[in-house]
Structure formats: C-alpha cells, structure tokens
Amino acid sequence: MLSKTRSRGGVSTSPIGALAGDTAERLREALQAVVHVPSPVVEALTVALVSGGHALIEGIPGTGKTILSRALARLVDCSFKRIQFTNDLMPSDVVGGSVWRPSQERFEFVPGPLFANLILADEINRTSSRTLSCLLEAMEEGTVSADGETIPLGAPFTIFATRNPIEFHGTFPIPEAALDRFLVHVELDYPEAQLEKELYQGRGGAAQIDSLEPILTREELLMLTSAVPSVHVSAEVAEYAYRVVSATREHAEIELGVSPRAAVAWTHAARARALLDGRDYVLPDDLKALATVVLGHRITTSGGVKGSQRISEVLEGAAVEL
C-alpha cells in the first residue's frame, strides 16, 4: 500500500525534490498575501504552471483573475503579457506579423504578445474562431504560424485564460476541443468576508505586486517541468484512475465521459502535485485533489449540472483499493 511514510527516494531527496517541496508552500503564501483566493485554486494554477499546462479561470469581474496571473508571473521570474480578447481582434494582433524594413529592404517578423512565458488571455470567449484557433495552436503545439512559416514559442509557455460566466452579449461559446486544451479549470468567487475587509484596508491587491520577489527562476521552473514525467505512477494508482474514468462513461447523467487523453492529463497533473509535495510517486490523494479541476470541464453532462459536481459524485463511489 502506498503512503506518505514510504522511503523517500528519487526526486524527493535530490536537489530538484527539495526545490519542488519548498516551492508550493512559498508560492501559496506569497500569492495569498496579494490576492485572496482559496488554496485549492492556487494549487491548481501552480500544478498547471509546473506541469507545462494551461488554465482556464472563470469568475465575475473584480475577483482577482488578472492580479493572480500577474503575481504568479512575477513570482516565477517569467515574462508576462496580457491580451484583451475582443470581437475584432485579428490573428496578427496575437501572433505578430511582418513589417517592411526599408533600410534592410526586407520584411522582418515582429513577434506578437504570444511570445512570452506567461500569457493572460482575458475573456477568450469574446473573440472569433479564427483568432481562437491561433491560440489553440500555440497551446497544443507550442508554435504559431505566420507568413507560411511555423515559429516556435519560448519555454516555459503557459496560458491563463479568463471567462466571465454571467455576460453573454458579444461572446461566443468555447468549443469542447478548445476546453480540452486547458489542463485545469478553476472558478473564482467573492473572497471570504474578513479577507475582503482587509482589501478595503489596503492589504493585498495590485499595488503590492511590484513588491514581490521571485521565488523561482525561469531555469528552475523548467527544471521542475522536466522532472514531472519521472514521478512514478504505480499499477495500483493507474487502476484507481481507470475505475474513476470508467465510471464517468457509465454514469447515467454524464453524456460524454472522460477520454483517454483527459485521463493522461489527469495523471500528469497528479505527478506535478506529487512533485510539489516532495514525492517521487503519485498517491490516490493527488488524483482526488485534482479530479474536479482537470476532468470537470472535459465531460458533457445532462440536466444543467456542472461537470465538476458529477466528477465529485463519481469520486464518492470509487473506492481506493491498494
């Protein structure tokens, strides 16, 4: 049976293991000093960043989506760009384009805002399918297409996209294939009463972002990302994951269950969570902690019930047998 008392080996006793184990807590404390969001949201975004995935942040305006993204970019010492998606945003506004240089008598490619380490794609459901497809290519392939050429983006490369759940005028539905590109989907609500009162008193907020000191360098983040695939998933843990996945396909209120690709993304995210906990092996608890944010937006439900709620129901009925 796997447990946290297992002999600590591999990454957990190496420099990379020590770095990973220290990173999660320091990031959580630093972020929550600036923007008051629940620890599970911070954990999900940290997992997405470390695993090289992307995140969809859903919440009404004013709940800290932009501040959260800016603060996280500063804490990992990465370049940051914000793209405000609108109905008239063109692919070249995101990717970049060629500009004629008279002195050199040639065209030169000028990179767009996608050429950064952490991108805040604000209100992605407000843009056209053409522009959205450019973003999806970048998320899936790590490249962009311009002037008939495929241009690689830098590393790390993570997109935090936002969506307003209550406004529908001038918006477009996000296709299921696009949602599948996001490793995690988190929701932001109003902060707790005491934390919101602290904002009124000037504690936290955008003004404090400039005072943040990097916790990770870009090179250290890449080191953590490269270590994620080496975290061990035992046959027993894989069996548990498969039981959960199979249950979503058999659930009467789930029209389209978890796909194999989504299940692989789930275990990959669990690897990142284990690494950030200083372990070189995945526990069922890693899978449970991330199930709703990784799988909830990847299933189709009936009756207007959120996918995350259906995933929670499936988890309750899936026993851990190790």
Fold of the domain spanning 10-317:
Rossmann fold (3.40.50)
Distance CA 5, CA 246 (A): 30
- Mean pLDDT throughout 268-283? 95
Q: What are phi and psi of 29, to 5 degrees?
A: -65, -45
215-252 per-position pLDDT tens digit: 888 999 999 999 999 999 999 999 999 999 999 999 99
Q: How far apart are CA 129 and CA 91, in angstroms?
A: 10
pLDDT of residue 167: 60
Helix ranges (DSSP H) in 201-234: 218-227
Neighbours of 280 (CB within 10 A): 22
For tokens 């056209």, what's the residue?
A: 128
For residue 174, the model assigns a pLDDT of 79
Task: Return the minimum-mean-pLDDT range out of 31-40, 109-118, 260-269.
Answer: 31-40
User: Whole-angstrom Cα distance, residue 6 to residue 232?
Assistant: 13
Nearest to 164 by CA among 39, 56, 70, 302: 56
Mean pLDDT, to the nearest integer, of 66-79? 86
| Local structure of residue 190 (DSSP, 8 states) | P
Strands 80-84 and 118-122, sheet pairing? parallel
Residue 289: pLDDT above 90?
A: yes
* Greatest C-alpha distance within the chain: 70
65 pLDDT above the threshold of 90: no
